[in-house]
Amino acid sequence: MPLYRTRSAAIAGVDAQLIDVEVDLYGETHQMFITVGMPDTAVKESRERIKSAILNSGFGHPRKSVTINLAPANVRKEGAGFDLPMAMGILGAMGCVNNRAGDVLFAGELSLDGGVRAIRGVLPIAACARRNGISRLIVPADNAAEAAVVEGLEVYGARHLGEAVLMASQPERFDPVASPTMAGPAGPRQFLLDFADVKGQATAKRALEVAAAGGHNVLMIGPPGSGKTMLAKRLAGILPPLTFEEALEATQVHSVAGLLPSGAGLLAERPFRAPHHTTSDAGMVGGGSGSPRPGEVSLAHNGVLFLDELPEFHRNVLELLRQPLEEGSLTIARSNQTVTFPAKVMLIAAMNPCPCGYHGDTTRECRCTGGIIQRYLGKISGPLLDRIDLHVEVAAVPFQELQQPASAGVSSAEMAARVEQARVLQNARGYVNAQLPASKLRDACNLDDAGARTLEMAVRRMSLSARAHDRILKVARTIADLDGSERVKSKHLAEAVQYRSLDRNYWA
């Protein structure tokens, strides 16, 4: 059987494309090993790993030349995940594997002793198998739980090349990996990071509760040590638990990035990403050499992206956030391919009011001149500010509030309960308030006469843009949901306008 075919898949963005691995053995004089079909360096180097793995697994390497074609040839193949399907193709051509293996999708890296090592992107590979009608999947044992998330597949986790051969030839001898389920919490939710630990800051806590209830972006401005980072780290805890669809999307991004722990299935908690301010363009939105990889924005999909010391980020990096904040996705175009990554995130940003941090502080003197302050604030552009719904001042905490017991403040459990109640109302409308399309906004935010006058006055006095006008309406709708009100009233709009006034004080 000199010609044999197996199946594998190549990662493209957060998806995968089916790849046919065709193996041909021929000749007995000059033993060559040739791989064609646009392989990268890691795929070309696999010939040495495959040869050692086959020999050390007790099969014996063929005394013939080997040509492997990875089709279609116009798709770039990257990474060591093609080791296992290529080795299985060679063994199949040698007659060591029966014909049933041609209907199995393989993915995995081989070590020199024949061990099968974990790879990235197994979840989209499993989805690709199901989409193409392939019912059996053999992957590294450490990736098996991840692949089993996709229903309708028989997933087998191999630890050694010899075991993979038996799984392909005699699957009845092995039990497929059970599909993991998202079981709900057995008891009350646990909050390892509790808002009750944050002393004072009642206004900031209220703003973050509104943000969590409606999925809004937040900017916190205040001096060092006022609690901005503590507040941000606790926000993800009061968001509603991940739905199965949200967990699947977030897990797929982390799978492609290779960040899932060994043996992990679906992500159980909402992602919280806090990149350093030295992060590059590719690190923030994705990219890099070869096939683009997801960046921090996509890794925070369905979760929270926290940018501390916002003006310290490179301005061009911050400007790249405009598209994902507006559309919930981002597209990266290269000369040979274009990929789209999901990026539906809540942006939580924190910054000082000036380089020294004490502009406007009543207890400490600011040593920055007006020009220095304006240059510092000018690093945040107006269009980016327009995409942040709530602007909150976080003042230094007075000594008396620092001495209060932890039980004196509002807890995460109380905030989470109110957030979930507000989300129930939004789910009935079909959208989280921050994602309300323009066609649905007027119906969802039906104003009374007093509310219309309040909004008109705010737009005129503050010279708000059309985008800011719509975002005030969305925030007011969220405040009304927290209040259990069917209509958006004047008091709800007044609070929403209050969250848009801070940028006028600093950036005017």
Closest by CA position to 442, among listed 470, 468, 465: 470
Nearest to 63, CA basis, from 94, 38, 88? 94
Residues 218-251 as b or e (16 or more Cβ within 10 Å = b): bbbbbbeebbbbbbbbbbbbbbbebeeebbbbbb
Asked if residue 496 belongs to a domain, the reply is no
Per-block average pLDDT, block size 10, for the chain (508 residues)? 85 92 84 89 91 92 90 90 95 83 87 95 94 94 93 94 93 88 60 85 93 96 91 94 92 92 85 95 86 92 96 94 92 82 95 90 87 90 90 86 72 93 93 90 84 85 84 93 91 90 65
| 377 in a structural domain | yes
CA distances from 330 to 322, 339, 345 (A): 9, 9, 12
Q: Coil, helix or strand for 476? A: helix
Query: 221 and 134 in one domain?
Result: no
In a domain, 136, yes or no: yes
How confident is the model at residue 310, as a pLDDT? Answer: 95
The alpha carbon torsion through 270, 271, 272, 276 (nearest 10 deg) reads -170
Residue with the two structure tokens 């956030």: 321
Residue-level pLDDT at 198: 87
Residues 116 and 199 in one domain: no
For residue 270, the enclosing domain spans: 195-432
Q: Is residue 316 part of a domain?
A: yes
C-alpha gyration radius of the chain? 28
At 187 the pLDDT is: 58
Using the structure block, give the residue that is written with the tokens 């039980």.
Answer: 407
Same domain (yes/no): 245, 125: no
| Domain termination site, one of 173, 203, 236 | 173
Residue 398 in tokens: 């007075």
> Residue 224: what are its φ and ψ, rounded to 5°?
-60, 140
Structural element, H or E, at residue 218: strand 218-221
| Helix locations, 178-243, DSSP H | 202-214, 228-238
Query: Are 163 and 214 members of one domain?
Result: no
Backbone φ, ψ for residue 232 (5° rounding): -65, -40
In a domain, 461, yes or no: no
**What CATH number has the domain bearing residue 404?**
3.40.50.300
H or E element in which residue 456 lies? helix 449-462
Note whether 202 and 302 are same-domain residues.
Answer: yes
The reply to whether 102 and 7 lie within a common domain is yes
